[in-house]
Homo-oligomer: A and B are copies of this chain.
Amino acid sequence: MSRAPQLSDKQVLFLYFLILIFVGTILLSLPSSYSAGSLRSLDALFTAVSAVCVTGLSTVTTGDFSLSGKIILLCLIQAGGLGFITFSTLYLFFPGSRFSFRNTAIIQEYYGSEHIQKPKNIIRSILGFTLIFELSGILIIFPGMVRQGVEHPFFSSVFHGISAFCNAGFSLYSDSLTQFQGNPQVLGGVSFMIVTGGLGYMVHWNLFKKVSHPGKVKLRYHSMIMILFTFILIILGFFVFYLLERHRLFSDMNTEDALMAALFQSITTRTAGFNTVDQSGFTAPSTLLNLVFMLIGGGSGSTAGGLKVTTTFLLFLIIIKGIDDHGEIPFLRRRISKELLNRASLYFLKAMVILILSVFLVSLFETIQLKNNIGFLEILFECISALGTVGLSMGITAELSDLSQLVLICTMFAGRIGLFAIIIPAVSPESVYNIRYPEGEVLIG
Interface of A with B (CB < 8 Å)?
A: 244, 248, 283-285, 287-289, 292, 315, 318-319, 322-323, 325, 327, 338, 341-342, 345-346, 348-350, 353, 356, 359-361, 363-364, 366-367, 375-377, 379, 426, 428
Contact = CB atoms under 8 A, between A and B. Distances in A.
A353 B426 CA distance: 26
A80 to B, nearest CB: 27
11 contacts: A283-B363, A284-B376, A285-B360, A285-B361, A285-B363, A287-B363, A288-B356, A288-B360, A292-B356, A327-B342, A376-B377
Contacts of A283: 363-364, 367
Contacts of A315: 349
A327 B118 CA distance: 32
Contacts of A292: 356
A87 B437 CA distance: 38
B345 A288 contact: no
Contacts of A376: 284, 287-288, 376-377
A283 B372 CA distance: 9
A287 B292 CA distance: 21
What's the number of copies of this chain in the assembled complex? Answer: 2
A283 B318 CA distance: 36
Given A288-B360, A341-B342, 9 more contacts: A283-B363, A284-B366, A285-B360, A285-B367, A292-B356, A318-B345, A325-B428, A327-B327, A348-B349
A353 B317 CA distance: 13
A95 to B, nearest CB: 14
A365 B378 CA distance: 21
A363 B426 CA distance: 39
Contacts of A323: 342, 346
Contact of A377 (B338, B345, B375): B375
Given A292-B356, A327-B327, A338-B327, A367 B284 contact: yes
Contacts of A366: 284
A349 B360 CA distance: 22
Contacts of A349: 315, 318-319, 345, 348
A379 B377 CA distance: 11
Contacts of A285: 360-361, 363-364, 367
Nearest to A430: B325
A218 B398 CA distance: 57
B319 A346 contact: yes
A318 B349 CA distance: 8
Contacts of A364: 244, 283-285
- Top 8 A-B residue pairs of the complex, sorted by shortest distance between their CB atoms: A284-B363, A345-B345, A285-B364, A376-B377, A283-B367, A285-B363, A323-B342, A319-B349
A80 B227 CA distance: 47
